[in-house]
Structure 1
Amino acid sequence: MTQGAEFVVYEQPLTERVRTFLRLEFLFSEHAYYRAGQGNLAVRSTLQSLLDILTVLSRSDLKNDILKELTDQHNALTKLAARPGIDASKLQGVLSEITQAINGMQQLTTHFAASLLRGNDFLTSLLNRSGIPGGTCAFDLPAYHFWLSQPCENIKRDLDAWFADLRPFEKAIGLYLRLLRNSIEPETSVATGGMYVYTPQGPCVLVRVTVPVAAAVYPEISAGRHRFTVRFMSVRDVNVRSQQATANISFQMQCCTL
C-alpha cells in the first residue's frame, strides 16, 4: 500500500515471486528509514530489518529469479527499439538501468545471504533471539550490548559491510517493481454496491487499486486463476468491525504484468 494526499494505492500480488519482491521492497524501505535515524533504538531497528531481509533472501534462489525477470524485460524492450514512434532516448535509459542492475546481481554469489547468516556468530545470535519479545535485551545478549556501546563510526562501518551485498538486490527489485507498476495505465472502474468482479484478458501478476481517501473504504482483493473480486469495506472506526460498503465506489485499477 502506498499513500498520496488524496488517494491510497492498495496492491495484491498474484504470484509468490511478486509477493516476495513486495515484502523485500517494504523491508528495504524500512531499513533505509531506520538507518537514517540516530541512537541505539534506531540502530537496533536497522539491524532487525537487515536480519529480516537476509532471512527472506536465504530461503530461496531469489538472485536467479530477479535476473530472469530483468533479462526477459531487457529482451522485450530491445525488440521495441525498431518500432516507429518509440522514444529512443527514454527506452535507452531504461535499458541502461536494467543492464546495470543485471551486472550488479551477477557479481553476487547465489546463496550469499544464507552464508552470511551461517558464518557470522554475532548475527546468528541476534537472529535466534529476535523472534522472542524483548529477546535482545542487554542481559540476554551482552555481546550485542557491547557492540551498541562502540563509537558510532564502528557501528556504521559494520552496518554498511553487512548491507553491501544487499544494495544490488535493493536496486534490482526496485527497478523491476517500478517497471511492473508502470506496465499499464490505470483504468477507472465502479464497484456496484461495494463489489467488483473482473476477468483479466491476459496474464496479470499484480493488481493495483487506487481509492480516494474521502471514500473512507478499503478493498479486500480476492484473486483466482481466471478472475478476481474487489470488495470494498467501510471503515469509520478501526475499533469497530468493518462492513461491506453499500454505495457505488469509483476507483482506479491496474492489472500489471511484464
Structure 2
Amino acid sequence: MPDDQMLETEVVQYTTYEFPLNERIRTLLRLEDLFHKFDFFLVQDHRLDHHSALLTLFEIIEVGSRADLKSDLLQELERQGQQLSQFREHPGVDRDVLEETLRSIDKVSYNLAQCSGRLGHHLRDNEFLMIIRSRCSIPGGVCEFDLPSYHRWQSQAAPVRRADIEKWFEPMRPLAKAIDLVLKILRHSGELLTTLAEKGSFTQQTSGKTFQMLRVDIPAHLPVVPEFSANKYMIWIRFNMPNEQGVGKNNPVEENFEFKMRLCNL
C-alpha cells in the first residue's frame, strides 16, 4: 500500500488514577509514594535534596508505624505464593514468568521475615535524627543556628551524606520491596475494561463482591478528574473539570466519553 494511503494509528496517552477501597491498601499506596520520593531525593547531590530525603524518611516512619503491617504483608505474600503455585500445570501459563514471580515472592518474604520490630524502630534510638525530626515540626526550625550539628552534617560531601541516609534506611528496604511486590500483583489483577461515562458519570453494581482498589485510566487530553465513592453494593464515579481559576467548585462534565477501568482484588 502506498505511504499516502496508509492510515495513521493515533497513540492515546492515559492518566491513571488509583482509588484504594480499604484502609490497608490506602496505607500501602501512601508508603509506596513516600518510598518513591525518598529514592528520588536520595540520588541527588544537593544538601536540600538530602534534607527532603530525611523529611520523607520521617513521614515513612509516621505512616508505617502500624504494628501489624509486617505480618499482614507476610500473610499476603504466602497466600499469593500458594495461589500462584496451583497454576504450574495449567495450560497456557508462561512457566518462566510464573517461576520468576514465585522466586520473587520467596525472596521478598524471607528478607521481610528477618526484620524485627516496627518500621523505623531503629531510628527512634538515634538522638541526632530524632532531634532533627522534632525541629522539623517547627516552621524554619532547622536553621544552622538552631541545629549546628545538623548544619555540619549537611556541609559534608554528597557521597558521605548519601551513605549515612542509606545506612539509616537499609533496615526498611525489605518492607519497601514487599509493598512494591504486593501492589504489583494487585494492579495486575482484574480485567481491564473500556467503558462509557454518560454525561460525566459512571455507576456499577458490585453485587456484594469485595474489591481492594479501582484503577481509572482517562485519556490525557481530556481536562477531567474523577471523584469516587463506593460501598459493598455500588461504585460511583463522577468526572469534573478542574476550575483553572482556583476559585469555587469544579465544573461537572456533561459530555459522554470513554475511559478504562480495572477493579483489582488480591
- Scaled by the length of structure 1, what TM-score is found? 0.92
Larger Cα Rg: Structure 1 or Structure 2?
2
Partner residue in 1 for 2:95: 88
Cα-Cα RMSD: 1.7
Contact 1:211 1:251 in 2 (8 A): yes
Aligned with residue 115 of structure 2, among 108, 126, 138: 108
Aligned with residue 217 of structure 1, among 212, 219, 224: 224
Partners of 2:86 and 2:139 in 1: CA distance: 53
C-alpha offsets along residues 44-83 of structure 1, whole Å, 9 cap, x if unaligned? 0111111111222224321111111111111111112232
Structure 2 unaligned runs (5+)?
1-10
Q: Does residue 194 of the first structure (1) align with residue 200 of the second (2)?
A: yes
Per residue, is there more helix in 1 or in 2? 1
Contact 1:61 1:110 in 2 (8 A): no
Partner residue in 2 for 1:143: 149
- Give the CA deviation at 1:231: 0.3
| Deviating 4+ runs (over 4 angstroms) | none
| SS, match of residue 163 in structure 1 | helix
- Scaled by the length of structure 2, what TM-score is found? 0.90
- Give the CA deviation at 1:155: 1.5
Partners of 1:231 and 1:203 in 2: CA distance: 21
Task: Name the % identity.
Answer: 36
C-alpha offsets along residues 173-214 of structure 1, whole Å, 9 cap, x if unaligned? 111111110112310111111111112253210000000112
Opposite residue 113 of structure 2, the aligned amino acid is Q
Opposite residue 265 of structure 2, the aligned amino acid is T
Q: Does residue 176 of the first structure (1) align with residue 182 of the second (2)?
A: yes
Opposite residue 231 of structure 2, the aligned amino acid is G
Shift of the 233–43 alpha-carbon distance from structure 1 to 2, 3 Å rule, reads same
Contact 1:200 1:226 in 2 (8 A): yes
Partner residue in 1 for 2:133: 127
- Give the CA deviation at 1:247: 0.6
Partner residue in 1 for 2:8: none
Corresponding pairs, count: 254
Contact 1:108 1:165 in 2 (8 A): yes
